[in-house]
Structures are given as C-alpha cells and as structure tokens.
C-alpha cells in the first residue's frame, strides 16, 4: 500500500476524512449507466462463452438453518459436475456453506479444485462480540475453508464508527491466516448493501473493506433485499478499479443474492467487462453468489447446444 494510504486508519477521524473525501455517487446517473449496460445484446458465440464463464464463477451456496451433511454432500457433487449428462460443463468456483459444515464440504470436494467458502462472523447479522467472530472464523479456517465470507458490522458503519469496522475486518483477516505452507484463507467482506442503502455508503464501505485487507468485496448475505443489483455491483466495481490504481492491489468482487437467471448473470459480466475490463473476467476476481442460478445457466447452455429447452426435471436439484 502506498504510504499516503497507510495512515488513513490511524484514527476514526482520519478514516472518516478519507472515506468522506471519496467522490460521491449520483444515484440517478449510476442507475442509468447500469440500465444502459443492461441493454447490451449478448448472442450466439458470445452468449455461449458467457454462460461457461458464469458457471466457472458460481459460488454454489446453501445457507439454511435446515442444512445437513447430506444436503452439503449433494451440493458438492453438483458443484464438481453440474450436469451429469454433459462432461463439457465446467466446475463451479466454490461452494459456500456455514462453518459447521465446512468439514463435510472439504471431505466431499477433496482434490476436485472446487473451493470451499464459509460464511463467518455471526452471519448474517454480524451482531456479536469480536471474540465470537474471530472464533467463528478460526473454526471455519481450521476445518479447511479456502475462503471466508465475513459480514461487516453495519450498525457500527451507520453510526460512523468506521474504525471499529476496520479493526474488525483486520482481526478477521488475521484469523484467516494459517501456519506453515498452507495458504491463508481468502477473505471476502460482505457489505450488506441493502442495509447500507445509499451508493455513497456502498463506495465508502468498499474502500473501508479494501483498506482493511479484503481480498474480495461482496454485496450481500442473500438474507436482505435488495441484494446484488446491477448499480450496486457497478459502484463496487468502480471501487476496486480505483483501489487498484491508487494502491497497486487488486481486489475481487462478488455480487450475491437475487441473481437467478442467465440474463442476470450475463448482465453482470457485461458490467465487469465495460467497467473494469477483462482483467476481472475470471473466477479469481469475480464470483456470482447464487443457489438457483446454476440450473438456469445449464438450461440455457443446453438450449444453445441443441436448440431446444428441456424441462426442469432434466436438471438435477442439487
């Protein structure tokens, strides 16, 4: 990080001054830009490529109170081979589960290349003590999670206590570390944009997370609406673009929640393509958090290949 930004988090005053010094976001203009990019017409070969790329970017997610080892194992099988009838379908990027099911997922996916992501830090509300959040994270990391999807303390952010949010993210980042040669867990920071409400807040929270060490910034938990809207994703993409220019460090983006159709997913890829460029068009830098999206991608993929739609029963539930 450049020295000029190293001191930004010296105190809540400096942090606040920096975040409030970022250029504002005009809501009307951002909505308009996202809507215009939504009119891009992605057809034929471009659509086929986009579908495969989108599949490779999916974080296949189950975050229910009713999740069981059996459910997670079934989802892992689907993650590795999304369409049992078609081996040319690529694997998804990761599965995303609760911390207590990480071990199941690691066992089911071992060696497949599909990553295991775990939500942590008193997901989804984030309302607990820092100790509990660190312990939650450490538990998931110890169980073998490759990626941690943490939530920020929205209450602290909205109250203007940016330093508290910063320090919490830093502490979780430390908890993502692993001893020895094993890679540290990647940290995705969920902003819960639906609760931050304004685009100015979303830009500030994006910078705050990146300054504190986020490897990815993620829109939403999926438990709050609105979630990953195109303009919110646009604002976050602009933030990672500007952060790279300012610091030389590249951060990924993960819209999650509400992306259900192939059309939604392709619109996201267009946003990436025309906002930050193809440098982000890879699962290393862009993910789609979703549970039902995958089957629609598979259905459209098959339609592209065969010219006809198969019924929903021709695609596996999980």
Q: Which of the residues 67 through 96 are near other proteins (CB under 8 A)?
A: none
**Distance of closest approach, residue 104 Cβ to other proteins, in angstroms:** 35
The smaller minimum CB distance to other proteins, of residues 156 and 281, is found at 281
Total residues contacting other proteins by CB under 8 A comes to 27
Q: Which of the residues 25 through 54 are near other proteins (CB under 8 A)?
A: 25-26, 28-30, 32-33, 39-47, 49-50, 53
User: What is the DSSP annotation of 79-95?
Assistant: HH-S-TT-TTSPPPSEE
* Closest-CA residue to 110 (of 144, 83, 81, 68): 144
Binding mask 7-26 for other proteins (x = CB under 8 A): ----------------xxxx
Residue 136 appears among annotated catalytic residues: no
Cα 228-234-237 angle, rounded to 5 deg: 105
The smaller minimum CB distance to other proteins, of residues 40 and 71, is found at 40
Cα separations in angstroms, 179 against 171, 174, 176: 16, 11, 10
* Closest-CA residue to 144 (of 187, 124, 115): 115
Give the other-Cβ count within 10 Å of 139's Cβ.
Answer: 17
Phi, psi at 148, each rounded to 5°: -115, 125
Q: Which of the residues 117 through 176 are near other proteins (CB under 8 A)?
A: none
The smaller minimum CB distance to other proteins, of residues 41 and 129, is found at 41
Q: Which of the residues 231 through 290 are near other proteins (CB under 8 A)?
A: 238, 269, 273-274, 278, 281
- Spot the catalytic one: 133, 254, 264, 296: 254
How many angstroms separate the most distant Cα atoms in the chain?
60
What is d(CA 152, CA 168) in angstroms, rounded to the nearest whole number? Answer: 8
- Spot the catalytic one: 78, 91, 133, 218: 218
Residue 264 appears among annotated catalytic residues: no
CB 210 within 8 A of CB 239: yes
**Distance of closest approach, residue 253 Cβ to other proteins, in angstroms:** 15
- Spot the catalytic one: 83, 146, 149, 296: 149
Here the tokens at position 283 are: 């699962």
**Distance of closest approach, residue 72 Cβ to other proteins, in angstroms:** 33
CB 55 within 8 A of CB 44: no
The set of residues, in sequence order, having a beta carbon less than 8 Å from that of 53 and lying 6+ positions away, is 269, 281
The smaller minimum CB distance to other proteins, of residues 119 and 240, is found at 240
The smaller minimum CB distance to other proteins, of residues 67 and 284, is found at 284
Residue 86 appears among annotated catalytic residues: no
The smaller minimum CB distance to other proteins, of residues 2 and 41, is found at 41
**Distance of closest approach, residue 67 Cβ to other proteins, in angstroms:** 34
- String of b and e for 72-81 (b: at least 16 CB within 10 Å)? bbbbbbbbeb
Q: Which residues bind other proteins (CB under 8 A)?
A: 23-26, 28-30, 32-33, 39-47, 49-50, 53, 238, 269, 273-274, 278, 281
Q: Which residues are known catalytic residues?
A: 149, 218, 254
């Amino acid at each position: 990080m450049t020295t000029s930004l190293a001191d930004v988090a010296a105190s809540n005053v400096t942090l606040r001054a920096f975040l409030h010094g970022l250029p504002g976001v005009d809501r009307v203009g951002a909505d308009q830009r996202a809507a215009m990019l939504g009119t891009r017409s992605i057809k034929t070969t471009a659509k086929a490529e986009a579908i495969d790329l989108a599949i490779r970017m999916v974080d296949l997610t189950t975050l229910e109170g009713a999740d069981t080892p059996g459910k997670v194992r079934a989802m892992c099988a689907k993650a590795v081979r999304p369409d049992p009838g078609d081996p040319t379908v690529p694997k998804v990027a990761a599965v995303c589960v609760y911390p207590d099911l990480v071990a199941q997922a690691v066992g089911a996916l071992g060696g497949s290349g599909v990553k295991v992501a775990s939500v942590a830090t008193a997901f989804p509300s984030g309302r607990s003590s820092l100790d509990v959040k660190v312990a939650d994270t450490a538990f998931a990391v110890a169980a073998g999670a490759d990626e941690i999807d943490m939530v920020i303390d929205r209450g602290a952010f909205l109250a203007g206590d940016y330093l508290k949010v910063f320090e919490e993210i830093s502490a979780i980042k430390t908890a993502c570390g692993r001893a020895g040669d094993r890679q540290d867990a990647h940290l995705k920071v969920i902003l819960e944009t639906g609760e931050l409400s304004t685009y100015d807040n979303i830009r500030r929270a994006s910078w705050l997370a990146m300054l504190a060490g986020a490897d990815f910034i993620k829109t939403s938990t999926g438990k709050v609406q609105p979630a990953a809207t195109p303009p919110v994703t646009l604002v976050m993409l602009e933030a990672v673009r500007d952060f790279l220019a300012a610091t030389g460090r590249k951060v990924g983006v993960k819209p999650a929640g509400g992306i259900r159709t192939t059309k939604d997913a392709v619109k996201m890829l267009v946003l990436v393509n025309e906002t930050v460029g193809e440098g982000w068009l890879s699962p290393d830098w862009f993910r789609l958090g979703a549970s039902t999206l995958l089957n629609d991608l598979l259905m459209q993929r098959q339609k592209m290949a065969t010219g006809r739609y198969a019924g929903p029963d021709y695609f596996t539930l999980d």
